[in-house]
Structures are given as structure tokens and as C-alpha cells.
Amino acid sequence: MQDHPYRTRAAETVGLRQQLPLWVIAVIAICCLVELALVLGNLAYDPRLRTFVFIIGGFWSPVFWANQGAYPAQPIVMFLSYGLLHSGLMHLAMNMISLAVLARELKRMISPLRMFLIYAVSQIAAALLFAIMDPQAGPMVGASGAIFGLAGALVGYAAIVGLRRKRPMGQLWRGVMWLLVLNVGLTILMPSIAWQAHLGGALAGLLMGVALAFMPVRR
């Protein structure tokens, strides 16, 4: 008996949705489409396209402090847009794989909405600490600050729940492992890594993870 190809693809799609929240799938899809557009645009249109997009979409500390940029809304928009941009395919792949792995782990512990809030707050906190610690730097791009937030939340949540309920600490160690993998991997791939953003995201996620561990569970 042969497998029906359409049924197989449908089952794979359902399985992916069960493992990952829809918003995570959407973030991964958008980041991939943006990178694809930049790669194709550089090849077919203008090799300076990526530089132009980074100017208007990356996070710039001077723009934050001056509260003005290339267009009126840039000081606000860049807090969202910088997390959808990446410096290349390797940077994108590392971040999206890490996002999928961490989201799958966190989905077992907290609701998709709470996970999204952690991701969003961590992305903002990552940019803020970057701006505070390096006021003249930019552009900063990448989702790693928000992803470090998910890793920090995983560590904080698993540690508190494990201690309070005397549960095995496997999820905690997996969170620590992914923090280390992210740090080492991104440092190798990107020598000019924005470690300030990683620190800001991780701290924000850790605090939110600890706070959520004391709150009622929602699914």
C-alpha cells in the first residue's frame, strides 16, 4: 500500500503545528522570506540592497538616543524590524534552528501567548541594553536577543518549578546547553557579535521565566 503524498504532507504540517506555536512558525517564515528577498535582490537588482535595508531596518543606538532617524517612525519601528533581519544565511539558519528547538521545549511548560510575550519583551530588552552599553553602535540585526530570552526563560522557569516540585532538572540543563551553544555558535559565525543584546535578552527572559513559574499554569 502506497502513502498518499498529500496526506503525508498534511500530517507533517499538523505535526509541526503541534510542536511549535503558530507565531513561531510565522516568525521563521518571515525571517526566511526577508533573507531570500535580500539574497535575490542583491543578485538581480543591486548588491547594496542589504546595506540599504540595514540602514532603515537595523537597530541603531544613535537613532534611539537622538529619537530621530532616516524616517519619522524609525526609532520605534527598528525595535521590531531588526529582529527580522540577518547578516546572511548562516546567521539566519543558526537563529531559526535555535528558535525552533527552544520553542518546542518551552511549549511543554508555558502557553504560546506567554512564550510570545517573553520573545517580544526580550527583543526590546536586548535592543535597550545594546543602546545603553554601546551608545554609538549600529546597525544591529538578528533575532538572537529574543531567542536568548527564550533560553533564559527556559532556565528560570525550569529551575523554579524543579526546585518547588522536586522534579528532574532535564529541561533546565537543556536550556543551559542551548545558551552555551548559541553563545559559542554565534561567536564563531559572527566575530562582531552584539553580546550586549544577548545579555539583555537573556536577563529579561530569565526574570520573566522565574515570574511565570510562580503564576498559575495556562495552556
**Tens of pLDDT, residues 144-182:** 999 999 989 988 888 888 777 776 666 566 666 766 666
**In contact, 58 and 85? CB cutoff 8 Å:** yes
Query: How much is the pLDDT for 11?
Result: 47
pLDDT beyond 60 at 5: no
Query: How much is the pLDDT for 169?
Result: 61
- The separation between CA 30 and the C-alpha centre of its own chain, rounded to angstroms, equals 12
> Is residue 173 one of the residues assigned to a domain?
yes
**Whole-number average pLDDT of the chain:** 85
* Tally of domains in the chain: 1
> Is residue 218 one of the residues assigned to a domain?
no
> Is residue 138 one of the residues assigned to a domain?
yes
How do the residues of the chain divide into helix, strand and coil, expressed in percent and rounded to 5? 75, 0, 25
Of 8-17, 57-66, 183-192, which gets the smallest average pLDDT?
8-17
Range of the domain at 170: 5-213
Query: How much is the pLDDT for 135?
Result: 95
> Is residue 100 one of the residues assigned to a domain?
yes
Strand spans (E) along the chain: none
Query: With bands split at pLDDT 50, 70 and 90, how would you rate the model's confidence at 214?
Result: confident
Q: Which of 124, 98, 127, 132 is nearest to 24 (CA)?
A: 98
pLDDT beyond 90 at 105: no
Q: Write out the H or E segment, with its range, that includes residue 68.
A: none
**pLDDT tens for each residue of 44-95:** 888 889 999 999 999 999 999 999 999 999 999 999 999 999 998 988 998 9
Which cell goes with 124?
Answer: 526590546
Kindly report whether the peptide bond that precedes residue 139 is cis, defined as omega within 30 degrees of 0.
Answer: yes
Straight-line distance from the first to the last Cα atom of the chain, in angstroms, rounded to the nearest whole number? 39
Q: Which of 64, 211, 93, 80 is nearest to 146 (CA)?
A: 80
> Is residue 209 one of the residues assigned to a domain?
yes
Query: How much is the pLDDT for 147?
Result: 93
Q: How many CB atoms lie within 10 A of CB 150?
A: 29
pTM of the full structure: 0.84
> Is residue 73 one of the residues assigned to a domain?
yes
CATH code of the domain covering residue 44: 1.20.1540.10
> Is residue 219 one of the residues assigned to a domain?
no
Query: How much is the pLDDT for 1?
Result: 44
> Is residue 158 one of the residues assigned to a domain?
yes
Helical H segments across 20-111, by residue range: 22-44, 49-57, 61-66, 74-81, 89-107
> Which of 15-24, 94-103, 152-161 reaches the highest mean pLDDT?
94-103
Query: How much is the pLDDT for 28?
Result: 97
